[in-house]
């Protein structure tokens, strides 16, 4: 690990915490982060030559695994045509058409460069459309780092123990109302207490940023009817769940159709991308067709579009997505069996091609129950896996992901590592 260590020392002198995103620093699991040199299929290799089966997959985007031949070939051809035009290109039309085929509720959509940009822009247009300012979000859900969302967010902020990040004006936080995930009554109370002032309810329809927590029966349906009756908008943040919990996202899985949706990760195949979209009458407010301003130098850039097109092309082939879901179910079962054998309380919660192993003796249904997980044990589990050639996600409050490249060899390696890591706890 000496090269990683040396690089981390230098990175600490250049980057806050030595990383470009907090959760990568391994603070939630202990030890120093590995510096990754390359990835291929389900495997990554660190700068010291260590090889690992990767279940982070860059936090979800790499649903075809690392350096998929079709994605690399498409990028090789595209990059020769130029990296950015700052002008319309046929590629963004192609990708938008493909996305709308999988997400018909996105009658109009706009590409941006990250999930954060997508969610902050979607809230802006929701506020413009309704003429209201308040937004409801859920404890443990994360929607990127825009000020309005850093109020009891999940994911990195929760792991860092900063429920309200410094630097977020209290006036901004005041417009964000927070309810427990899966608690419809709490949302009803928020609407009762804030009549005609809530613009939107923003939700991860299957939570992933406190770990994988599916919606309780009737929860999303309840949010749908509550927002309808209150003339507020329902915004599904599907940056993670899009193409992960179902080929049509959580809205495809549940049949609950939001007014607005945000996407990211998979649709860029590992390149920087986000998108927001929804009902035509709402999205027509976005400049230049309407007055709601939002812009981006590299929005819809040819390389991200190319990687996204190649990814969705492969993913859309018959049986491909289902194969990843089957492998994920297989891994979930092997995790549960290993925990039973080791007499370690483990809640394995899965949705499609993503899953979380909670070190808890009870199912996790919201942030309060997620927080009761044994984080120290999770840290030992993560380090035990790493030492056995498996790179899990370095936080209890994250989802792990599989790809088309996770085959029997990778699952066997993972199972052996899990059994060894659990036994060593």
Catalytic residue set = 142, 237, 265
- Give the C-alpha separation, 147 to 164, whole Å: 10
CA dihedral angle for residue 77, residue 78, residue 81, residue 87, rounded to 10 degrees: 170
Query: How many Cβ atoms from other residues are within 10 Å of residue 314's Cβ?
Result: 18
Q: How far is CA 280 from the centre of its chain?
A: 25
- Give the C-alpha separation, 236 to 205, whole Å: 6
3-class SS at 131? coil
- Closer residue to ligand KE4 (CB): 183 or 398: 398
3-class SS at 202? strand
Q: Which DSSP state fits 220?
A: H
Structure tokens at 303: 């390389």
Least Å distance between CB 109 and ligand KE4?
16
- Closer residue to ligand KE4 (CB): 400 or 422: 400
Per-residue DSSP letters for 88-157? Answer: --HHHHHHHHHHHHH-TT-SEEEEESSHHHHHHHHHHHHHHHHT--EEEEETT----S-GGG-BS--HHH
Tell me, residue by residue from 221 to 260, as one string, x for binding to ligand KE4 by CB under 6 A and - for no binding. ----------------x-xx--------------------
Pairing type for strands 36-40 and 43-46 reads: antiparallel
412 close to 337: Cβ distance less than 8 angstroms:
no
- Closer residue to ligand KE4 (CB): 126 or 344: 126
- Give the C-alpha separation, 237 to 122, whole Å: 10
Q: Is 54 in the site for ligand KE4 (CB under 6 A)?
A: no
385 close to 419: Cβ distance less than 8 angstroms:
no
- Closer residue to ligand KE4 (CB): 119 or 373: 119
Give the number of residues in contact with ligand KE4, rule: CB under 6 A.
21
Tell me, residue by residue from 344 to 383, as one string, x for binding to ligand KE4 by CB under 6 A and - for no binding. ----------------------------------------
Q: CA 340 → CA 305, 347, 374, 384, 399, distances in Å? A: 44, 11, 17, 18, 21
Crossing angle of the two packed helices 184-193 and 219-229, in degrees rounded to 10: 20
Among residues 89, 102, 105, 116, which is the contact residue for ligand KE4, using CB under 6 A?
116
- Closer residue to ligand KE4 (CB): 191 or 269: 269
211 close to 364: Cβ distance less than 8 angstroms:
yes
Residue with token string 């040819």 = 302
The one segment of 100-108, 110-118, 170-178, 291-299 that binds ligand KE4 by CB under 6 A: 110-118
Q: Is 264 in the site for ligand KE4 (CB under 6 A)?
A: yes
CA angle 115, 120, 126 (to 5 degrees): 125
- Closer residue to ligand KE4 (CB): 114 or 311: 114
Q: Is 402 in the site for ligand KE4 (CB under 6 A)?
A: no
92 close to 78: Cβ distance less than 8 angstroms:
no
- Give the C-alpha separation, 270 to 40, whole Å: 13
- Closer residue to ligand KE4 (CB): 177 or 250: 250
Q: Is 59 in the site for ligand KE4 (CB under 6 A)?
A: yes
Q: Is 142 in the site for ligand KE4 (CB under 6 A)?
A: yes
Q: Is 204 in the site for ligand KE4 (CB under 6 A)?
A: yes
Least Å distance between CB 229 and ligand KE4?
26
The one segment of 141-149, 166-174, 251-259, 375-383 that binds ligand KE4 by CB under 6 A: 141-149
Least Å distance between CB 19 and ligand KE4?
9
Least Å distance between CB 233 and ligand KE4?
17
Among residues 156, 214, 302, 352, which is the contact residue for ligand KE4, using CB under 6 A?
156
By beta carbon distance, the residue nearest ligand KE4 is 115
Least Å distance between CB 20 and ligand KE4?
8
Site for ligand KE4 in 20-39 (CB under 6 A): 21, 23
Residues in contact with ligand KE4 by the rule CB under 6 A? 21, 23, 59, 114-116, 119, 142-144, 155-156, 204, 208-209, 237, 239-240, 264, 274, 398
């Amino acid at each position: 690990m000496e090269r990683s260590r040396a690089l981390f020392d230098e990175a600490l002198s250049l980057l806050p915490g030595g990383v470009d995103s907090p959760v990568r620093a391994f603070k939630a699991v202990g030890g120093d982060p590995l510096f990754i040199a390359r990835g291929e299929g389900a495997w990554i290799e660190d700068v010291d030559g260590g090889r690992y089966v990767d279940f982070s997959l860059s936090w979800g985007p790499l649903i075809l695994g690392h350096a998929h031949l079709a994605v690399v070939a498409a990028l090789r051809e595209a990059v020769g045509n130029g990296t950015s035009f700052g002008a319309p290109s046929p590629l963004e039309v192609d990708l938008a058409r493909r996305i709308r085929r999988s997400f018909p509720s996105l009658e109009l959509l706009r590409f941006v460069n990250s999930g954060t940009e997508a969610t902050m822009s979607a809230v802006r247009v929701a506020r413009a459309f309704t003429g209201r300012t308040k937004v409801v979000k859920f404890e443990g859900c994360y929607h990127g780092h825009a000020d309005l969302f850093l109020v009891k967010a999940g994911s990195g902020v929760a792991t860092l123990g900063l429920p309200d990040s410094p630097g977020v004006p209290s006036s901004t936080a005041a417009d964000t109302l927070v309810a427990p995930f899966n608690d419809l009554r709490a949302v009803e109370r928020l609407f009762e207490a804030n009549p005609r002032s809530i613009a939107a309810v923003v939700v991860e329809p299957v939570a992933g940023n406190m770990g994988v927590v599916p919606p309780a029966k009737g929860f999303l349906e309840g949010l749908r009817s509550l927002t309808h009756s209150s003339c507020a908008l329902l915004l599904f943040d599907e940056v993670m769940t899009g193409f992960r919990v179902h080929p049509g996202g959580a809205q495809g899985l549940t049949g609950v159709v939001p007014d607005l949706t945000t996407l990211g990760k998979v649709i860029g195949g590992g390149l920087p991308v986000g998108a927001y979209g929804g009902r035509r009458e709402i999205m027509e407010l976005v400049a230049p067709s309407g007055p709601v301003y939002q812009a981006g130098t590299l929005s819809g850039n040819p390389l991200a579009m190319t990687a996204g097109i190649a990814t969705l092309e492969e993913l859309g082939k018959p049986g491909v997505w289902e194969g990843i879901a089957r492998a994920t179910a297989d891994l979930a079962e092997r995790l549960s069996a290993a925990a039973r054998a080791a007499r370690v309380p483990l809640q394995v919660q899965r949705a499609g091609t993503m899953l979380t192993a909670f070190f808890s003796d009870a199912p996790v249904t919201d942030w309060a129950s997620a927080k009761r997980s044994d984080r120290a044990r999770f840290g030992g589990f993560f380090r035990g896996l790493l030492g056995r050639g498996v790179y899990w996600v370095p936080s209890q409050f994250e989802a792990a992901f599989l790809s088309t490249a996770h085959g029997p060899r990778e699952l066997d390696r993972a199972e052996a590592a899990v059994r060894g890591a659990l036994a060593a706890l």
